[in-house]
Amino acid sequence: MSVLALTRETDRRLTKWLAANASPCVHRVLSAVEETAESTKLWCGAAAVMASLGGWRGRKAAAAGLAAVALAQLASNGVCKQLADRPRPPKEWFPHDETEDRPDSSSFPSGHTAAAVAFTAAVAPAWPLAGAVCAVPAAMVAVERVQSGAHYPSDVAAGAAIGLTGAWLIRRAPRLVLRYWL
């Protein structure tokens, strides 16, 4: 079996399993977290709280998180979704009506997951406790994207990779600029 065929089969199985096995309570909680994260509201709010309550460390973490979100959103939604034309998972796999609200854009990669992971991964080195707190809703957003029918698991994995890369670049950018351009 080729890697692509194995990925498709794994995507199909995991997506159908998550859609069928999420309890109504879990479904409601995941949907609420995703609604809060829509348009990066959750991450902007978290950054505002960190900046106002966390002193210098909070402002540093908030700035890194927001910069990483911007970079991840640019990469995932501005570049990757334009290059990949992957359809969303089939509506008949899902026992709920949330698939009616999903966007028409490419399924690959998950921009929500890219933003969530980018913010969390950029915040964690500057303020580990805040990063740990942010990891909970970030993981919930990733699971919700599959459970709701918006993405395949591989879309979420790609979004997470983009988010991690964005956070790494934001942390390394000052050193890279100094080393290679000055």
Q: Is pLDDT above 80 for 157?
A: yes
- One-character DSSP codes across 108-135: SS-HHHHHHHHHHHHHHHH-HHHHHHHH
Rounded CA gap, 33 and 155, in Å?
A: 19
pTM for the predicted model, two decimal places: 0.89
Question: pLDDT value at position 126?
Answer: 93
**Who wins on pLDDT, 22 or 171?**
171
Evaluate whether 15 touches 152 at the Cβ level (below 8 Å). Answer: yes
Which residue did the predictor score with more confidence, 94 or 140? 140
- Per-residue pLDDT band for 178 (boundaries 50, 70, 90) equals low
Using CA atoms, how far apart are residues 180 and 55, in angstroms rounded to an integer?
A: 32
pLDDT at res. 93: 80
The mean pLDDT value of the chain amounts to 89
**Residue 182 scores a pLDDT above 70:** no
pLDDT at 46 over 80: yes
pLDDT reading at 16 higher than 70? yes
Report residue 174 as tokens.
């000052």
pLDDT at residue 18 greater than cutoff 80: yes
Task: Give the mean model confidence (pLDDT) for residues 93-114.
Answer: 81
Q: With CA atoms as reference, report the closest residue to 76 among 103, 47, 36, 42.
A: 103
pLDDT score at 181: 66
More confident residue, 60 or 182: 60
Mean pLDDT on 156-174? 94
Q: How confident is the model at residue 177 (pLDDT cuts 50, 70, 90)?
A: low
pLDDT at residue 96, as a whole number: 66
Q: pLDDT above 70 covers what percent of the chain?
A: 93
Instruction: Check residue 31 and give its pLDDT.
Output: 82
